[in-house]
Amino acid sequence: MSITRQKQQVFKPELMAPAGDWTMLRTAVQAGADAVYFGVDKLNMRAKAANFKVDDLPEIEKFCTEND
């Protein structure tokens, strides 16, 4: 007789935080956010909001990768 164990999957929710500027991005990442979201120049529905520039994307990627 064999006993079969079923593996239970544990689903961990993802913590996603808004990042409207560098201060908010750094704070969210350093506080443990799994993901951040933000607008970029004219690619944002909130045109008058503070946005990152397309040129900021490589630095944002580097910061997030180094602080993962």
DSSP 12-66: PPP-EEE-SSHHHHHHHHHTT-SEEE--BTTSSS-TTS--B-GGGHHHHHHHHHH
Residue 51: domain span? 16-66
**Total domains present in the chain:** 1
26 assigned to some structural domain: yes
46 assigned to some structural domain: yes
pTM: 0.73
40 assigned to some structural domain: yes
3 assigned to some structural domain: no
11 assigned to some structural domain: no
pLDDT surpasses 90 at 63? yes
- Kindly report, residue by residue over 19-59, the tens digit of the pLDDT: 989 999 999 999 999 999 998 887 777 767 778 999 999 99
42 assigned to some structural domain: yes
